[in-house]
Structure 1
């Protein structure tokens, strides 16, 4: 299995269950990793998953506000697999920095691991 990953993608977005979260927004950190079977040495970009393509998927999904972080990671995972059908496993982690919980919390986190 060959794994391609992007770690610690920082983006400002408007995801959240409460109305004020969709107005004020927040900083998020995204990690994505995808794995696929390598049947030969990879010597061309079309034989692998382009991490620039993964970044654009993350960027696009993050621009669409969702009430639940679970929806965001599901959307990312689905979009990555649709673009790169060779993916057999994906792990998407989304952290919301300093969520508005009334106390000091570094981040909330949702991780989705899927096998295809």
Structure 2
């Protein structure tokens, strides 16, 4: 299956368990892999997945509602993108929280979910 990848979409949002996360917010980074058959596609946007629309949906899901868990946010993004884009066979979403409040040194924390259309 072919895919289009939106990688490193960065947003400021207020997700997290702690009150300070809701007040100050933090940087969240989203990757979305859009799986659909585009081999042989003509050069018309109407036949493809419009990834500008996908970006807008991800932006809204990340910046408008507040969730305690990035796992829930990841699920909401994946389901929204699949619902909004009927050409997609599957989507893989990763939500990174590089400044998660952990008591040690780390590079990244992220949740990843792959959903197929049949999973809706």
Shift of 1:80: 0.7
Superposed CA RMSD in Å reads 1.4
- Counterpart of 2:60 in structure 1 is 60
- Counterpart of 1:93 in structure 2 is 94
Q: Count the aligned residue pairs.
A: 116
- 2: CA distance, partners of 1:53 / 1:15: 23
Q: Does structure 1 residue 29 correspond to structure 2 residue 40?
A: no
Query: Which protein has the bigger strand share?
Result: 1
Could you give the per-residue CA deviations for residues 61-111 of structure 1, whole angstroms, max 9, x where no partner exists? Answer: 011211110111111111111111121111000110121112222221100
- 2: CA distance, partners of 1:38 / 1:10: 27
- 2: CA distance, partners of 1:62 / 1:114: 18
- 2: CA distance, partners of 1:79 / 1:10: 18
Normalised to the residue count of structure 2, the TM-score between the two structures is 0.88
Shift of 1:4: 1.6
Q: Is the 8 A contact 2:10 2:28 kept in 1?
A: yes
Q: Is the 8 A contact 1:99 1:105 kept in 2?
A: no
Q: Is the 8 A contact 2:2 2:39 kept in 1?
A: no
Normalised to the residue count of structure 1, the TM-score between the two structures is 0.91
- Counterpart of 1:4 in structure 2 is 4
Q: Does structure 1 residue 50 correspond to structure 2 residue 41?
A: no
Could you say what secondary structure the match of 2:77 adopts? helix
- 2: CA distance, partners of 1:93 / 1:43: 29
